[in-house]
């Protein structure tokens, strides 16, 4: 498929593939069940973002990175911010979020050996925040929300980054009112967060009752 480089093209998978692997609504911890097939080049393509935003027959794969820091007293804190109007997805403006990330672009195919998903995730992190701490990273789940127009055309891949020190500085002015907040405070104020963040907070940090 030829690609017009002047039009943003983003990584997508057929929604039918996601359903075949096992459709879910909300958060799934079963990364091994999905990722190999979802990231297989045989199943992915790059299509115009403007078209994909309204075409639920495809899912745009989005890395969604959550930063955590545990204080010396054991209190767990999570990095959060409010989305400004300059961020790409207008439907999420003014929502609070705990996720950093964005679309994987055709430009992330930097070499024949490169993994576009990994390259795109690193590019998004570099563009949006500066990390001045030692950290560890792991993929912990996926998010799907077919109950919203945004969610119907996106599939989130959740990565947890655990920092030795709470040293994250936004590079974009549209990451507003940012900072680390005790996770209990975030769980007590879920309604102000975008749905993906709500799913992550409940599934990863909530009580068994909240994670349902």
Output the tens digit of pLDDT for each of the chain's 212 residues: 445 556 899 999 999 999 999 999 999 999 999 999 999 999 999 999 999 999 999 999 999 999 999 999 999 999 999 988 654 545 545 789 999 999 999 999 877 777 899 999 999 999 999 999 999 999 999 999 999 999 999 999 999 999 999 999 999 888 999 999 999 999 999 999 999 999 999 999 997 666 55
In angstroms, the CA 165 to CA 43 distance is 39
Within a domain: 212: no
**Domain presence at residue 74:** yes
| Domains identified in the chain, total number | 1
In a domain, 2, yes or no: no
For residue 138, give the CATH number of its domain: 3.90.79.10
pLDDT for res 94 = 73
pLDDT for position 109 = 85
Q: Are 144 and 155 in contact (CB under 8 A)?
A: yes
The verdict on residue 186 lying in a domain is yes
- Angstrom distance (rounded) from CA 26 to CA 86: 27
* Residue range(s) defining the domain that contains residue 186: 9-205
| pTM exceeding the 0.85 threshold for the entire prediction | yes
Q: Is residue 54 part of a domain?
A: yes
DSSP classification of residue 184: H
Give the three-state DSSP class for 9: strand
Q: How far apart are CA 3 and CA 108, in angstroms?
A: 14
- Nearest in space to 15 (alpha carbons), one of 35, 42, 44: 44
Is residue 28 included in any domain, yes or no?
yes
Q: Does any domain span residue 182?
A: yes
Residue 197 lies in a domain: yes
């Amino acid at each position: 498929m030829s690609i017009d480089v002047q039009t943003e093209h983003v990584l997508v998978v057929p929604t039918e593939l996601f359903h075949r692997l096992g459709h879910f609504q909300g958060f799934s911890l079963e990364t091994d069940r999905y990722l190999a097939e979802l990231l297989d080049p045989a199943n992915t393509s790059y299509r115009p973002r403007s078209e994909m935003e309204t075409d639920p027959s495809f899912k745009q794969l989005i890395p969604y990175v959550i930063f955590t820091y545990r204080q010396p007293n054991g209190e767990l804190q999570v990095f959060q911010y409010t989305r400004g109007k300059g961020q790409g997805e207008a439907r999420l403006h003014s929502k609070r979020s705990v996720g950093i990330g964005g679309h994987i672009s055709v430009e992330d195919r930097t070499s024949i050996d490169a993994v576009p998903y990994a390259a795109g995730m690193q590019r998004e992190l570099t563009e949006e925040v500066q990390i001045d701490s030692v950290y560890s990273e792991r993929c912990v789940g996926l998010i799907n929300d077919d109950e919203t127009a945004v969610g119907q055309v996106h599939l989130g891949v959740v990565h947890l980054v655990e920092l030795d020190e709470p040293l994250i500085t936004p590079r974009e002015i549209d990451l507003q009112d940012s900072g680390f907040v005790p996770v209990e405070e975030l769980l007590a104020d879920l309604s102000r967060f975008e749905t993906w963040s709500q799913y992550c907070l409940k599934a990863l940090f909530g009580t068994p009752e909240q994670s349902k």
